[in-house]
């Protein structure tokens, strides 16, 4: 299948997904379930990664700012901007693409090969909308919460490890975090997060939905879903940055 | 009544259904039989619109299913129950939730009425106290019975079964056959079953269609099979020693 027919097939799939749910009660219940299965279950993982990467970012910045003419509060400032602009929205989204994307593609792929999707269609249910729309809403709703959480924890991680290693005192770090703060950066981070959430929810679902065969093909669909959503995240990261920050 | 007229279905160069015509009657067990790969599953899935046919027509009580819009197809599908080969139960949901899905979607019942209907259907397929179990907790035969219960929960006019006995022991297969027969007669459903199980053919086949390499080769009842002179049918039906001896005896 060439790239153009694949893109066309993807948008036809999205059109099918975005139709009105058969029952709003079922949709609401599925949405809450997906928020828990995909979102809430990722909190621990996101917290762990954010805390330590925040620490590493601070240590690396401190390592690169050894010049005594540069004030130490720059460590806090650079840590904050690195985390808000890039680490939390992009890197955490890439990590979530792996965790959530493989879950979505393998769940839907298994439902396809075990005829559960055919069973839904036979009941007169729009299977694409029934299975995928709650995931899209769940991720668009919950990923910004996860990213906010990640930003806070990464900055806390940077402050804590910067302080206990003696590279940057609490006062200097907090001064840096508050210095020359641009609120638009937060808006930019959320715009990226929402775009990435749409990619993470739809692309693995697309590969899972059109799986043919058995266990091997479900694995392949899961891999394709994760790899291609990661590639799209990288590309959209550049495009959104070009549009919003230049 | 379901009418299939001159249906052709190709997958690329491969002609899977070649000019198939048949009529399936209400209150009867209609069987589609044939060897593995003969096109039985494609025939059933084409009738249900899960495969788009290349030519011909399929109508449910004079409503042409093959030429109507997707939305209109969805409305007809609400009148259809389907039992898939592997059961196709939703494995993340309990048995009660599995049966609840079509009821929540398409009925205006209260929660109590839904529970009562679910319990009735489970009892009808001789299953009780499994409401809170998950499909993985049940045996293959029990899963098939749950699939039948789910298929009849909305009181369908049409029931399709794709090899309902595959993977089951002979006794459980007989139980499933009897259950399908009882349900068909009791609710006057147009039942179409896809099988290559000769026990089922002899036990419940009111109206049988034999397919070979995508073409209809024979049509009749289970009583006609014994006296049929169709070579292809005889080669398929009397493949085993037991059935050959049975034919000689009759």
ipTM of the complex in this document: 0.80
Q: Measured between alpha carbons, how far is B161 from B180 in angstroms, rounded to an integer?
A: 9
Running DSSP on this structure, what letter comes out for residue B26?
Answer: T
Sign of CA dihedral B195, B196, B197, B199: positive
Chain B touched by A119 (CB under 8 Å): yes
Dihedral-angle region of residue A2 (phi above 0 means left; psi in -120 to 50 means alpha; beta otherwise): beta
**Closest Cα of chain B to A81: distance in Å?**
42
Which residues from A are below 8 Å from B48, CB to CB?
122
Distance from CA of A226 to the nearest CA of B (A): 23
Chain B hits for A125, CB-CB cut-off 8 Å, are 101-102, 105
Neighbour order of strands in the sheet with B63-64? B14-24, B2-11, B55-60, B63-64
Chain B residue with the nearest C-alpha to that of A33: B92
Put simply, whether A23 touches B (Cβ < 8 Å) is yes
A149 within 8 A of A47, measured Cβ to Cβ? yes
Query: What are the phi and psi torsion angles at A120 (to 5°)?
Result: -65, -45
pTM for this prediction: 0.85
Q: Which chain A residues touch B86 with a CB distance below 8 Å?
A: 114-115
Helix axes B140-152, B95-106, angle to 10 degrees: 20
Residue B93's contacts (CB-CB under 8 Å, 6 or more residues apart) are B101, B134
pLDDT tens profile A13-44: 999 999 888 788 889 999 999 999 999 999 99
Does A210 contact chain B (CB < 8 Å)? no
Structure tokens at A57: 């970012």
Radius of gyration for the alpha carbons in chain B, expressed in angstroms and rounded: 18
Q: Which residues of A104-117 are buried (b: 16+ CB within 10 A; e: fewer)?
A: bbbbbbbbbbbbbb
Q: Does A123 touch chain B (CB under 8 A)?
A: yes
Cα angle B164, B230, B198; round to 5: 25
pLDDT the model gives residue A1? 66
Nearest CA in chain B to A119: B88
Sign of the alpha-carbon torsion through A43, A44, A47, A52: negative
Average pLDDT, chain B: 87
The pLDDT tens digits for A46-91 are 999 999 999 999 999 998 888 888 888 899 999 999 999 999 999 9
B115-129: pLDDT as tens digits: 999 998 998 888 888
């Amino acid at each position: 299948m060439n790239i153009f027919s694949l893109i066309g097939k993807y948008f036809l799939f999205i059109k099918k997904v975005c139709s009105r749910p058969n029952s709003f009660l079922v949709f609401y219940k599925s949405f809450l379930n997906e928020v828990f299965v995909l979102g809430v279950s990722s909190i621990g993982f996101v917290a762990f990664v954010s805390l330590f990467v925040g620490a590493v970012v601070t240590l690396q910045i401190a390592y690169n700012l050894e010049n005594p003419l540069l004030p130490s509060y720059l460590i806090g400032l650079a840590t904050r901007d690195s985390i808000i602009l890039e680490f939390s929205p992009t890197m955490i989204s890439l990590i979530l693409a792996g965790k959530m994307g493989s879950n979505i593609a393998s769940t839907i792929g298994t439902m396809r090969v075990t005829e559960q999707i055919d069973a839904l269609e036979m009941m007169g249910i729009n299977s694409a909308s029934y299975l995928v729309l709650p995931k899209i809403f769940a991720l668009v709703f919950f990923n910004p919460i996860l990213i906010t959480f990640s930003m806070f924890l990464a900055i806390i991680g940077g402050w804590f490890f910067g302080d206990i290693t003696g590279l940057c005192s609490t006062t200097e770090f907090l001064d840096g975090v508050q210095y020359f703060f641009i609120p638009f950066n937060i808006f930019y981070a959320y715009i990226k997060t929402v775009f990435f959430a749409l990619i993470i929810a739809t692309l693995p679902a697309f590969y899972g939905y059109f799986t043919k065969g058995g266990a091997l093909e479900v694995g392949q669909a899961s891999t394709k879903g994760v790899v291609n959503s990661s590639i799209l995240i990288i590309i959209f990261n550049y495009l959104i940055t070009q549009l919003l920050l230049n | 009544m379901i009418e299939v007229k001159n249906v052709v279905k190709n997958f690329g160069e491969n002609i899977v259904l070649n000019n198939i015509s048949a009529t399936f009657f209400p209150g009867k067990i209609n069987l589609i039989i044939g060897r593995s790969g003969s096109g039985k599953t494609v025939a059933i899935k084409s009738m249900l619109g899960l495969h788009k046919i290349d030519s011909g027509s399929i109508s449910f009580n004079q409503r042409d299913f093959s030429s109507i819009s997707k939305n209109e197809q969805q409305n007809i599908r609400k009148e259809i129950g389907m039992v898939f080969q592997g059961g196709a139960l939703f494995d993340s949901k309990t048995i009660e939730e599995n049966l609840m899905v079509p009821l929540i979607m398409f009925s205006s019942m209260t929660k109590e009425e839904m529970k009562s209907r679910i319990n009735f259907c489970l009892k009808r397929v001789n299953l009780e106290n499994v409401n809170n179990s998950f499909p993985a907790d049940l045996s293959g035969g029990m899963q098939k019975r749950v699939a039948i219960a789910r298929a009849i929960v909305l009181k369908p006019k049409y029931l399709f079964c794709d090899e309902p006995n595959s993977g089951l022991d002979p006794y459980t297969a007989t139980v499933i056959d009897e259950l399908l027969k009882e349900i068909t007669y009791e609710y006057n459903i147009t039942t179409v079953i896809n099988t290559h199980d000769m026990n089922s053919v002899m036990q419940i086949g009111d109206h049988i269609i034999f397919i070979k390499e995508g073409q209809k080769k024979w049509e009749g009842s289970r009583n006609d099979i014994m006296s049929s002179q169709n070579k292809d049918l005889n080669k398929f039906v009397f493949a085993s020693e037991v059935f050959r001896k049975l034919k000689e005896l009759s």
